[in-house]
A = this chain, B = another copy of it.
């Protein structure tokens, strides 16, 4: 897509010249995913341009568009045009479109579908958001167990055109109970007269309609599947999810986790299509909560205020305050590193609940290594830079060394505490059924801030 701008410029010129033949030639070989982006650059001409596309390309391009543009297009369609587009696209895509449309448009779409499609659409629409059922399609190939390979291939040839995939075929009883599956590869490589039930795989990975769509993606990724069957409580096949949709789920879930880790309430709308007010709504709850919880840090500081002033006869209390942000920051960073590692490990199932003590012991050793390194580095840096060069620690060597020692020991203990908190919180969250991703850096930072101040002032008062 380096030539995206080139094509847009070329198209703009052709539109000005009313060169419809040129536009047709230019657009007909562009991939649907790119074409949708290009057409969206011409919101006023989108209906005209759309009608210049070959029928199948038009439908594929329509599926890829943002819902605002889909709505504009639908309202410009005649009923015949709408039916033509809807006939070309798969049921799961139709459902995705319907979910974003206002009621009157939904009604038009349903009216333009045949009875069977309408039934399938309503079937899928009744499953809750984020469930396996909500992302499936009903257009799969099903085979009877007692037919031959030859018959199966004939059936695929006859009905395959409208199926989302023909590469995994599902073997079912007449009441649709799932018995097994057979791949197109196996069919092609087997003798014509073999019986399906003799060569099918009966060890089927499937997901129930009501389970989370994340499970669909996980199972497909884990077992390298191109399609996965979705069954109801009676183990009857009701649909399939193909790998391209699973990839979308994987990317969405990663984005959601990243947003949660950054203290944002996840949204499934693209950033540029979201209004500032909506973005504000997704960000402000955590900001307020974290701000309020920072009350604790101010409490710690004010409660130690008197005592800190009393030691300022030896060393100015404000020197200690100058290193407060560094200690809190390092603690937050160290805790964030650990929590994010654990959260991702839990999400990818590299870490399981049984591993909790191995993880804790590992983080304890890592935190000792990190804490000692940072403490030594800080001690050297403070003596060299803050005392010797910058003179911002404005006292004699002995007292400066004591200040550096207090800060370094605080840092060591803060790092250890932060890493253990960062390790424990996501695991506890998972155990009690919360989403571990919420326990990421911002949340842990707040806890670590309080901990590090308590350690800092405690050590300062003990030593000084």
Which residues of A are in contact with B by a Cβ distance under 8 Å? 29, 31, 33, 153, 156-157, 160-161, 166-167, 184-185, 188-189, 203, 205, 220-224, 226, 243-244, 246-248, 250-251, 254-255, 257-259, 261-264, 270-272, 276-277, 279-280, 283-284, 286-288, 290-292, 294-295, 297-299, 301-303, 305, 308-309, 316, 318-319, 321-326, 328-330, 332-334, 336-337, 339-342, 344-345, 348, 350-351, 355, 358-359, 362, 365-366, 369-370, 373-374, 377-378, 381, 385-386, 390, 392, 411, 441-442, 445-446, 449, 453
Contact in complex: B153, A188 (CB < 8 Å)? yes
A442 to B235, CA, bound (A): 49
Contact in complex: A276, B362 (CB < 8 Å)? yes
Q: Which residues of B contact A348 (CB under 8 A)?
A: 251, 255
Instruction: From the candidates B29, B258, B305, B445, name the one contacting A261 in the complex (CB within 8 A).
Output: B258
Contact in complex: A271, B345 (CB < 8 Å)? yes
A344 to B261, CA, bound (A): 12
Contact in complex: B351, A271 (CB < 8 Å)? yes
Contact in complex: B250, A224 (CB < 8 Å)? no
* A292 shortest CB reach to chain B, Å: 7
6 nearest CB pairs, A to B: A294-B326, A262-B340, A254-B254, A276-B365, A224-B244, A298-B322
Q: Which residues of B contact A254 (CB under 8 A)?
A: 250-251, 254, 258
* A141 shortest CB reach to chain B, Å: 11
A358 to B270, CA, bound (A): 14
A151 to B395, CA, bound (A): 90
Contact in complex: A369, B185 (CB < 8 Å)? no
Among residues of B, the one whose C-beta sits closest to the C-beta of A255 is B344
Given A33-B223, A291-B330, 18 more contacts at CB 8 Å? A29-B203, A157-B188, A247-B247, A247-B250, A254-B258, A257-B258, A272-B355, A279-B366, A286-B333, A290-B330, A294-B325, A295-B386, A297-B326, A298-B325, A301-B321, A305-B316, A308-B318, A329-B446
A319 to B316, CA, bound (A): 16
Contact in complex: A258, B344 (CB < 8 Å)? yes
Q: Which residues of B contact A342 (CB under 8 A)?
A: 271
Contact in complex: B262, A341 (CB < 8 Å)? yes
Contact in complex: B330, A295 (CB < 8 Å)? no
- If A250-B250, A258-B261, A301-B322 touch, whether A290 touches B329 (CB-CB below 8 Å) is yes
* A412 shortest CB reach to chain B, Å: 12
Q: Which residues of B contact A295 (CB under 8 A)?
A: 326, 381, 385-386
A33 to B226, CA, bound (A): 16
Among A297, A318, A339, chain B packs the most CB atoms within 10 A around the CB of: A318
Contact in complex: A297, B325 (CB < 8 Å)? yes
- If A167-B184, A340-B262 touch, whether A31 touches B284 (CB-CB below 8 Å) is no
A160 to B332, CA, bound (A): 55
Instruction: From the candidates B255, B333, B442, name the one contacting A290 in the complex (CB within 8 A).
Output: B333
Q: Jot down 11 A-B pairs with beta carbons below 8 A, ordered by A.
A: A221-B244, A263-B337, A276-B362, A277-B369, A283-B370, A287-B370, A295-B326, A295-B385, A295-B386, A303-B392, A325-B449
Q: Which residues of B contact A365 (CB under 8 A)?
A: 276
A118 to B244, CA, bound (A): 33
Contact in complex: B31, A223 (CB < 8 Å)? yes
* A446 shortest CB reach to chain B, Å: 7
Contact in complex: B299, A392 (CB < 8 Å)? yes
A360 to B239, CA, bound (A): 44
Among residues of B, the one whose C-beta sits closest to the C-beta of A288 is B377
Contact in complex: B301, A264 (CB < 8 Å)? no
Q: Which residues of B contact A251 (CB under 8 A)?
A: 221, 250, 254, 348
Among residues of B, the one whose C-beta sits closest to the C-beta of A276 is B365
A329 to B86, CA, bound (A): 51
Contact in complex: A332, B276 (CB < 8 Å)? no
- If A263-B337, A291-B374 touch, whether A189 touches B161 (CB-CB below 8 Å) is yes
